[in-house]
Homo-oligomer: A and B are copies of this chain.
Amino acid sequence: MTPTTLAPLDRDDLRERIAAALAQFLAGRAEALAGIGPELEPVAGTIRDFVLDGGKRLRPAFGYWGWRGAGGQVADDAAIVRAMGALELVQACALMHDDVMDGSATRRGAPSVHERFAATHRASGWDGPPAGFGRAAAILLGDLALVWADEMLGWAGLAEAALVRARPAYDDMRTEVMAGQYLDVLAQAQPTISTERALAVARYKSAKYTIERPLHIGALLHGCDAELLDTYSAYGLPLGEAFQLRDDVLGVFGDPEVTGKPAGDDLREGKRTALVAVTLERGSPAAVQVVRRLLGDHSLDAAGVDRLRAIIEETGARAVVEALITERTEQAIAALGAGPVHAEAADVLTQLADIVTSRRH
């Protein structure tokens, strides 16, 4: 991904300022943990590294531009930038717990949190199974990130009235992402998946969580009318689906050098994505049989991955999903143009629509 592509995310140094706010907030939390016991240094350190070493800061960006689109002025944006760091901490919890649930060894090209703690356990020659220790640590670090998210929102310096306005959207966002994750886990466990069902999972796990709710939270923190919220939904929901569909395509066809995940990892994990659902709906009985046999095979080799990829191409599923991505992205951009979003924000949100759906990682 070239720097140019990310320019809207870096506008007004947004990503840098969010990272600085996270660093400042987490330094305070690390101090609190150190007061409890020096053994907690790796806990604070790992959360800090996890949050600061990666991430495109998409959710804070949507939250920030949701606020600007409601009339927030760049001159007054210090508190909103700080507050939006909270969304990165919710996401840190979701990712840490997701990696435990999926048994993923890597995240953003580095060992996942449970792997890091398992490695410490192994290297220290401690008692009991290293994997169990790693899992326990990652569950607790995720819990901490989740509760720290709330604290960061309160710490940011926004008016109490603004927090009260935005709190219901923030609460809904948290319930929706957990519910969406559960639907996803359930879909992986069940032998059949329809495209409709896969898109419903995407709606809760990604569309509402990553785009619609951050926009609503930003707008409500500023203060806004119902029409703006509706516009953000009409933009956020199709765009969020397109975002998840792009993720599904990258999980199968992405370049490991860029995604930070092994090639074909989603296939080995047996993810029942919309891409897989469309493949099963369009494939010949023979192709469907191969997909059912290979999908979720954790020992799948490069040839197996290539075979599945070929089927996904040949059935036209990849093309269908690409068409869905384009259609939903256009729908999102059109909805934005029709609503009462302040011009500069509308411009950036239009660019963000392209970024999140044409990204390579």
Contacts and interface: CB of A to CB of B under 8 A. Distances in A.
Interface of A: 29, 32-33, 36-37, 39-40, 43, 93, 97, 100-101, 103, 121, 126-128, 132-133, 135-137, 139-140, 142-144, 146-148, 150-151, 154, 160, 164, 167, 171-172, 174-176, 178-183, 185-186, 188-191, 200, 204, 270, 296
A179 B40 contact: yes
Given A160-B164, A189-B121, A189-B126, A39 B132 contact: no
Given A143-B146, A144-B175, A150-B171, A128 B186 contact: no
A140 B178 contact: yes
Instruction: Kindly name the residue among A29, A126, A132, A178 whose own CB sees the greatest number of chain B CB atoms within 10 A.
Output: A178
A183 B160 CA distance: 35
Contacts of A132: 101, 103
A171 B188 contact: no
Contacts of A191: 126-127
A185 B127 contact: no
Given A127-B188, A154-B167, A186-B39, A101 B135 contact: yes
28 contacts: A32-B172, A36-B183, A37-B183, A39-B183, A40-B182, A40-B183, A93-B143, A97-B139, A100-B139, A101-B132, A101-B136, A101-B139, A103-B132, A121-B189, A126-B190, A127-B189, A128-B189, A128-B270, A128-B296, A133-B185, A143-B178, A144-B179, A146-B146, A146-B147, A147-B178, A150-B150, A151-B171, A154-B167
A144 B178 CA distance: 7
A132 B181 CA distance: 14
A128 B36 CA distance: 40
A127 B43 contact: no
Contact of A190 (B127, B135, B148): B127
Nearest to A161: B160
Nearest to A121: B189
A140 B182 contact: yes
A36 B126 contact: no
Contacts of A154: 167, 171
A44 B153 CA distance: 27
Contacts of A29: 175
Which 6 interchain pairs have the tightest Cβ spacing?
Answer: A101-B136, A126-B189, A147-B174, A136-B185, A144-B178, A36-B179
A311 to B, nearest CB: 19
Instruction: Kindly name the residue among A36, A127, A133, A140 whose own CB sees the greatest number of chain B CB atoms within 10 A.
Output: A140
Contacts of A172: 32
Given A40-B183, A97-B143, A154-B167, 8 more contacts: A37-B179, A93-B143, A100-B139, A127-B190, A128-B188, A133-B185, A143-B178, A160-B160
